[in-house]
Structure 1
Amino acid sequence: MGEPTRPVVLLFPGQGAQYPGMAVELYGVEPVFTAAMDEFFALMGEEGRRLRADWLSDAPAVPLDDASRAQPLLFAVGHALGRTLLARGLRPAALIGHSVGELAAACLAGVFDLAGAARLMAARSAAMATVVPGGMLAAGVAADDLEARIGERYRAAGVAVAAINAPRHTIVAGPQPWLSELAADLARENVITRPVAALQPFHCPAVSAAAERFAAGFAGVPLAPPRVPIRSTATGRAVSPAEAVNPEFWAGQLARPVRFWAALSGLLAEGGHTLVEAGPGRTLTMFARRHPSLRSGHSNAFAPLPSTPDGTLAAWEAAMAELDQLVTEGV
């Protein structure tokens, strides 16, 4: 790939973007992707062998939407895709990660190495195993509107706005049965919701204790300032050197809301960019295309993988050819 006319930003999706067979067609075909996946699985030990088996299986032993599967596999696929794009000569100007995607961005940027990442993914899974059953709902309303509708009864149960992905795309998370009851209340108010693919809540008070347990997993993992700027979806601004080496900054995002729209808007305010989704599907590029910078053509978004496993390899090969044209010609 040549030098881009527009700065390239890699987007790393989080929980909800996973699907059976995600990126599997690249495994054994793309050498860098395959090596990165195998390295991660090996570093995860016996759990890595189980992760690999469930990733490649049509009938996984553990549901893919469970945090113990979705989280490490989304990390692994995002990191491996990022490594593959770098090996092809792509030089991102910045990285943005959504939830666990932010950890994939941090690893790719050198905040911690892959051995450290494997330890952190194991610690994150162990922490989430202590969380009560719950989930997340996507609602087609503004965050302030949804916040006003939650009410004290649900807040007391740990339900909260978990992500602000676009002006009228908000995620609410919490334990069951409260989350289902809230969905019914919202339906009576003509607010349409749909479940996010998750068996546990994220980014809400219900996981505060899990975030503290996750922080303990950083013990012994060396941290360094990022070599590539990371626009944090926890704060909406660039990760500072002090934040990068603070375990509580990374662990705390497990319980804090994801502010993807704020992070994206702050970056696009600096000028036009080419956004490339380094993960399964097109979740983040779908949100990004609602931004004025993309609607006007000032920036563009690109997703190399489809939202289903069918035709992954063909889509990837076509995407690589198109992406080379996009970044060199600034189309």
Structure 2
Amino acid sequence: MTATPARPRPVALLLPGQGAQHARMAHGLYRTVPAFTDALDEVLDLLGPDGAAVRTDWLAEQPAVPLDDVRRAQPLLFAIDYALARTLHAWGVRPAAILGHSVGEAVGAVLAGVLPLADAVRLLAERIGAIADAPPGGMLAVAATAEAVIPYLTEQVVIGAINGPQQLLLAGPDPDLAVAEAELIASGITCMRARATSGFHSPSLRPACRRTLAGYDGVELRSPRTPLVSGYTAGELSAGNAVDPGFWAMQPAEPVLFGPALDALLARGPHLLVEAGPGQGLSALARRHPEVGGGRSAVVPLLGSRPRTPADDLQNLLRAARAIEAEGHAVSPYHLAPA
């Protein structure tokens, strides 16, 4: 049996974003785990009739709007990330740091106290509406270094995310991205489309993002209460960026620097990295980090990569709770609904 550490490593939340969505994600926790259910319903209720439609499609066998559509992926990722984080809070687990990827950083801003949930959800809805009207596009996962993809970049097709040394996402509108994809394949570089129907983190979304700036008028932005390591600056969020509406409004058009941000987080010392969101994409990236591979830090995803049945979600959540307890953190009753 593994001994409980004398001093548990502090918890750092990893909050996934666009591309982590998949069918039936977290279904097994809804109406089973009260803390999760209440928090998810709070987010979707704040979206009004649109939130009800999002919930219906999320739970449906055949959604009317595909879950990869920005009108479904973005609100569901936000809601599920937030609901899982609130579940941890209900257990008594308090993160020492937060690192979000893409829309996960918007969730992190709420959890860190930068802006209230109601404002964040309203701004999310405005962002979704603007992006839905932007040119169609996508993202392309590429197994290559940043230097290796330079010949395939254009004014429109850019590096949208740096997730690791040879783990990139190119982003842009179509047909530009499709041309880059064909050229990469012809050159023998491994790539595949990510789950996105918009060119997130590329210049194609800049006009849409600028249209959302007015929505920040009257919103009180504050410095974070919990350290928030930004995936856009690859460092701890500064007080200046925290209260800058432009910093938040333009994020969907700016590159994500998750790999460098993870470097910055783990440079602070050993952590127990808890992925609070669908799938295990960020956990997989973190496990390749030398600090995790060397055993100084560890990774605990709250959900499985792809659940086979609704019961899998609950089993994975309880498995994660036991792992957090084994680390030495006090985890109070799991707040499950009676069977």
Same fold (TM over 0.5): yes
Cα distance between partner residues in 1 of 2:219 and 2:7: 34
SS of the aligned residue for 1:172 comes to strand
Equivalent residue for 2:304, pick from 280, 303, 306: 306
Identify the residue that residue 237 of structure 1 maps to in structure 2. 235
Cα distance between partner residues in 2 of 1:307 and 1:219: 39
SS of the aligned residue for 2:235 comes to coil
Change (3 A) 1:79 1:4: farther
The letter of the residue matching 2:147 is: D
Identify the residue that residue 24 of structure 2 maps to in structure 1. 21
Q: 1:150 and 2:148 equivalent?
A: no
Aligned residues with identical type, % of pairs? 46
Cα distance between partner residues in 2 of 1:82 and 1:328: 16
Instruction: Indicate if the aligned counterparts of 1:235 and 1:259 stay in contact, CA closer than 8 A.
Output: yes
Please, what is the CA RMSD of the aligned residues?
Answer: 1.5
Give a deviation string over 1:287-325, Cα, whole Å, max 9, x none. Answer: 111111011111111111012132111111122112211
Q: 1:9 and 2:12 equivalent?
A: yes
Instruction: Indicate if the aligned counterparts of 1:135 and 1:201 stay in contact, CA closer than 8 A.
Output: yes
The letter of the residue matching 1:213 is: R
Identify the residue that residue 221 of structure 2 maps to in structure 1. 223
Instruction: Indicate if the aligned counterparts of 2:152 and 2:183 stay in contact, CA closer than 8 A.
Output: no
The letter of the residue matching 2:204 is: A
Cα distance between partner residues in 1 of 2:228 and 2:160: 20
Q: CA deviation at 1:4?
A: 6.0
Cα distance between partner residues in 2 of 1:30 and 1:253: 32
Instruction: Indicate if the aligned counterparts of 1:275 and 1:300 stay in contact, CA closer than 8 A.
Output: yes
Cα distance between partner residues in 2 of 1:202 and 1:77: 20
Identify the residue that residue 251 of structure 1 maps to in structure 2. 249
Identify the residue that residue 137 of structure 2 maps to in structure 1. 134
Identify the residue that residue 160 of structure 2 maps to in structure 1. 162
Identify the residue that residue 267 of structure 1 maps to in structure 2. 265
Q: 1:194 and 2:189 equivalent?
A: no
Cα distance between partner residues in 1 of 2:28 and 2:123: 27
Q: CA deviation at 1:327?
A: 4.4
Identify the residue that residue 323 of structure 1 maps to in structure 2. 324
**1:42-191 residue pairs with structure 2 within 5 A?**
42-146=45-149, 148-151=150-153, 155-156=154-155, 158-191=156-189
Number of residue pairs the alignment of both structures matches: 323
TM-score normalised by L of structure 2: 0.92
| Structure 2: gaps of 5 or more residues | 331-339
The letter of the residue matching 1:223 is: L
Q: CA deviation at 1:220?
A: 3.1
Cα distance between partner residues in 2 of 1:47 and 1:78: 19
Give a deviation string over 1:245-286, Cα, whole Å, max 9, x none. Answer: 111111121111000011110111121111000101111111
Cα distance between partner residues in 1 of 2:299 and 2:282: 9
SS of the aligned residue for 1:231 comes to strand
Equivalent residue for 1:35, pick from 11, 35, 38: 38
Cα distance between partner residues in 2 of 1:269 and 1:42: 39
Q: CA deviation at 1:3?
A: 9.8
SS of the aligned residue for 1:90 comes to coil
Q: CA deviation at 1:149?
A: 2.2
